[in-house]
Each structure stands twice: as structure tokens, then as C-alpha cells.
Amino acid sequence: MDNFNGELVDILKSTILSMKHGKGLGLAANQVGISKRFFAIDLSYFDVVKEPIIIVNPEIAEISGSMIGEEGCLSFPGLFQEIERPEKTIITGLDIDGKEIAVEGKGLMARVLLHEIDHLDGKMFIDHLSSFKRSMIKGKLKKIKAGEEI
């Protein structure tokens, strides 16, 4: 995806609006039915003067450390679980203008960046849970699928 024409930029911008509407920290294209490799992340959550950004064709350039923290997902409203992830990461890709960027994340920001890349790779945050933990939340997952609140 390297032809950054008006239509593509409109799609990228609409993803930012969808993320903000859902009150998410990040949103991957495939979560909203777009079969392209990009995600939005709301940097204003981490620094109030920063704007949301798009990372197109993201790649993990570096990961280090380990942390366990609570994680949720717009795809599973109301469900939060403790997940282990790297503590730091650097993600490379292209910005909304097609220019190369590198985004460094620590703590929660690293979690969000890696969570969104997981979506693009077909992996959900619950896939990081043990089979025992997944069986423990089976009822909650059924309620979410049925559109019920958990």
C-alpha cells in the first residue's frame, strides 16, 4: 500500500474518527472491515498535545522487557484481562503522508502498538490467554457475541 491518493487518505482519516467514536486507544483497519495493513493510535492519550496517527504497513523493529497489565479491546466491549507483553517496542512504517516513521512505545503505549499489530496479523488479545483462562471467560464471550452487556 504505497499509493497515497485522496481515497486512501480519506479511509485512513475515517479510521481515526472511528477510533475516537469508539473511545479506543487504537484501531486496526481490519476491525472496521478494511482489508489494508494499517492502524490508528490516539497519541493524545499519552501526551495531550499529540494528535492521533496512522501507521501504514507497520513492522516490529524492536521489542524488549516484559510486563503484565490489563488489556481490553473494542472488539470485546467490557472485557478486560491481564496479558503479558513486551515493555518496550519500536514500530516502523509509513505515516498518513506516506513518509517513513518510527514510533517508540513504552508501557501502555507499547501494549497498544503491539495489540494493533496483533489485529493485523489475525490475532486477538484473548489469544494470549491460557486455555484455562479462556474457558473461564467463555460465558462473557458468549454475551458479547449476543450483543449483551457483561
Asked if residues 28 and 39 have their Cβ atoms less than 8 Å apart, the reply is yes
Q: Which of 70, 116, 148, 149 is catalytic?
A: 116
As a three-state string, the secondary structure of 30-55 is HHHCCCCCEEEECHHHCCCCCCCEEE
Q: How confident is the model at residue 4 (pLDDT cuts 50, 70, 90)?
A: low
Tens-digit pLDDT profile for residues 85-128? 999 999 999 998 889 999 999 999 999 999 999 999 999 999 99
One-letter amino acid for residue 100 of the chain: E
Give the pLDDT score at 10.
85
CATH number for the region 6-68+84-129 comes to 3.90.45.10
Give the pLDDT score at 46.
84
116 is an active site residue: yes
In 42-123, DSSP assigns E strands to 53-64, 67-72, 80-85, 88-94, 100-106
The model's pTM? 0.90
Q: Is the dihedral of CA 35, 79, 125, 73 positive or negative?
A: positive
